[in-house]
Amino acid sequence: MNNRPRFESRELELLRILSRRLELPLKEENQYLFLQKGFEGELHFDRELQNFPDSFIILNDLLLESSNTHFQIDTLLIAGSTLFVFEVKNYEGDYCIENERWYSLPSKIEIKNPLLQLQRCETLLRALLKELGFHLPIKSHLIFINPGFQLYQAPLNIPAVFPPQLKRFLEKLKNTPNVTTSRNMKLAEQLNARCLKENPYMRKPEYNYTQLRKGVPCDSCSSFLTPLTQGYLTCGECGLKEKADTAIIRCVNEYKVLFPDRKITTKTIVDWCGGAFSEKTVRRVLSRKYIIQGHGKYSYYTEQQN
Ligand SMILES: [Zn+2]
């Protein structure tokens, strides 16, 4: 059973929203593509685990702390008396290992050694388990999910699963004798409770309101939607049609991610949507979805009653 669904990280969400409304500097653009690719790889792996029996406990995206150090686990699977740690890599293209260093080819640029990352994770997890009073063996694996990945000169004994091996590996794992024990459930609950909400080391690019493009971005392509006709906005690029209400709520959510400390008012959302909606329409949607605070021109909207 999946006890912890996977979500886009805050950093990825932020970069995705920004990338539509501003030309990201090259460094941030690369970071965005890197995070996006990693996330797609994780979702791919989730799909592979989808038909595992309910007796397996799966925890995704655990951001934990042990010995004052943070660490993240892409996928943790509790099966029988073993903990499986999976670090999913969506690398594509040719790579090689030389003297325990990893390089991407053909330009031979050294990359971070993913094995070290995996080992660090395992060590910190082991310390945390000890602290929580659980004594289970941990088996860690790098999962290379992309069929277009090739690693040259890999030693035979590295704890990695390569694309052509994945089906076999998972089949074997799925057939290991397993029952859900109360101990395993308790461990899952404790790890979930220990999980940090936000990565304290999240990198946040610089941006300000004025430099961002106002309007309603299309939900399925990189274009912007055209003004309202008969209650709908349309995308000139991909043809998507969206109701005013859902488009406004989407824009409010984006605004909240980018400017969490600012107040949501009718005027700010009208401006944020680039004049695609009248004040009347925005006010109607906001007052239905959110709770109004204050009166008259000082009123603003919040998610919950203050
Ligand atoms: Zn579109």
Per residue in 127-163, pLDDT (tens digit) is 999 999 999 999 999 999 999 999 999 999 999 999 9
The DSSP element (H or E) to which 71 belongs, if any, is strand 69-79
Cα of 233 vs centre of ligand 1, distance in Å, is 11
- Give yes or no: residues 264 and 187 share one domain: no
Whether the pLDDT of residue 305 is over 70: the answer is no
Cα of 202 vs centre of ligand 1, distance in Å, is 30
How large is the average pLDDT for residues 238-249? 93
| Long-range own/partner contacts, residues 56-59 (CB < 8 A, 24 or more apart) | 56/1, 56/174, 56/178, 57/1, 57/3, 57/180, 57/184, 57/185, 57/188, 58/1, 58/2, 58/3, 58/4, 59/3, 59/4, 59/188, 59/191, 59/192
Whether the pLDDT of residue 214 is over 70: the answer is yes
- Domain end, chosen from 160, 194, 228, is at 194
Cα of 241 vs centre of ligand 1, distance in Å, is 9
How large is the average pLDDT for residues 181-189? 90
Q: Specify the higher pLDDT residue, 4 or 64.
A: 64
Cα of 237 vs centre of ligand 1, distance in Å, is 5
Q: State the average pLDDT for the chain.
A: 92
Cα of 188 vs centre of ligand 1, distance in Å, is 41
Cα of 217 vs centre of ligand 1, distance in Å, is 8
Whether the pLDDT of residue 2 is over 70: the answer is no
Q: Which residues contact 199 (CB under 8 A, 6 or more apart)?
A: 9, 10, 11, 63, 70, 72
Helix (H, G, I), strand (E, B) or coil at 291: strand
- Give yes or no: residues 32 and 111 share one domain: yes
**Residue 241 domain flag:** yes
How large is the average pLDDT for residues 269-280? 94
Please report which confidence band the pLDDT of residue 298 belongs to, taking 50, 70 and 90 as the band edges.
Answer: confident
How large is the average pLDDT for residues 14-33? 94
pLDDT of 108 reads 94
Cα of 236 vs centre of ligand 1, distance in Å, is 7
- Give yes or no: residues 132 and 16 share one domain: yes
Q: Which residues contact 62 (CB under 8 A, 6 or more apart)?
A: 4, 72, 73, 76, 191, 195
Cα of 225 vs centre of ligand 1, distance in Å, is 7
Write out the residue range of the structural domain in which residue 123 sits.
2-194
**Residue 16 domain flag:** yes
**Pick from 294, 265, 299, 303: which is nearest to 282 by CA?**
265
DSSP 224: B
**Pick from 263, 292, 206, 258: which is nearest to 13 by CA?**
258
**Residue 165 domain flag:** yes
Cα of 84 vs centre of ligand 1, distance in Å, is 40
How large is the average pLDDT for residues 3-29? 90
Q: Which residues contact 131 (CB under 8 A, 6 or more apart)?
A: 66
Cα of 208 vs centre of ligand 1, distance in Å, is 25
Q: Are 85 and 137 in contact (CB under 8 A)?
A: no
Cα of 247 vs centre of ligand 1, distance in Å, is 13
- Give yes or no: residues 156 and 250 share one domain: no
- Give yes or no: residues 107 and 148 share one domain: yes
Query: Which CATH number is 230's domain given?
Result: 1.10.10
Q: Which residue has the tokens 């304290």?
A: 200
- Give yes or no: residues 55 and 174 share one domain: yes
Please report which confidence band the pLDDT of residue 14 belongs to, taking 50, 70 and 90 as the band edges.
Answer: very high
pLDDT in tens, 86-122: 999 999 999 999 999 999 999 999 999 999 999 999 9
- Give yes or no: residues 172 and 286 share one domain: no
Please report which confidence band the pLDDT of residue 201 belongs to, taking 50, 70 and 90 as the band edges.
Answer: confident
- Give yes or no: residues 88 and 173 share one domain: yes
- Give yes or no: residues 119 and 230 share one domain: no
What percent of the chain has a predicted confidence (pLDDT) above 70?
Answer: 98
Q: Which residue has the tokens 């906001």?
A: 286
Phi, psi of 82 (to 5 degrees): -125, 145
- Give yes or no: residues 165 and 17 share one domain: yes
Cα of 36 vs centre of ligand 1, distance in Å, is 19
**Residue 21 domain flag:** yes
**Pick from 115, 119, 63: which is nearest to 89 by CA?**
115
pLDDT of 1 reads 66
- Domain end, chosen from 194, 223, 257, is at 194
pLDDT of 297 reads 79
Question: Where are the strands (E) in 116-196, listed by range?
Answer: 138-144, 149-152, 160-161
- Give yes or no: residues 93 and 46 share one domain: yes
**Residue 292 domain flag:** yes
pLDDT of 200 reads 76
**Residue 182 domain flag:** yes
Cα of 28 vs centre of ligand 1, distance in Å, is 23
- Domain count along the chain: 2
**Residue 202 domain flag:** no
Cα of 219 vs centre of ligand 1, distance in Å, is 6
Cα of 218 vs centre of ligand 1, distance in Å, is 5
Structure tokens at 164: 């052509």
- Quote the CA–CA distance of 65 and 127 in Å, as a whole number: 10
- Domain end, chosen from 165, 194, 223, is at 194
**Residue 200 domain flag:** no
Please report which confidence band the pLDDT of residue 229 belongs to, taking 50, 70 and 90 as the band edges.
Answer: confident
pLDDT of 198 reads 77
Cα of 226 vs centre of ligand 1, distance in Å, is 10
- Give yes or no: residues 75 and 221 share one domain: no
pLDDT of 44 reads 96
How large is the average pLDDT for residues 13-26? 94
Cα of 140 vs centre of ligand 1, distance in Å, is 41
What percent of the chain has a predicted confidence (pLDDT) above 90?
Answer: 76
What angle, rounded to 10 degrees, do the helices at 114-132 and 182-194 form?
A: 110
Q: Which residue has the tokens 């909606």?
A: 277
pLDDT of 294 reads 86
Whether the pLDDT of residue 79 is over 80: the answer is yes
DSSP 213: P
Cα of 288 vs centre of ligand 1, distance in Å, is 27
Burial 61-92 (b: 16+ CB within 10 A, else e): bbbbebeeeebbbbbbbbbeeebbbbbbbbbb
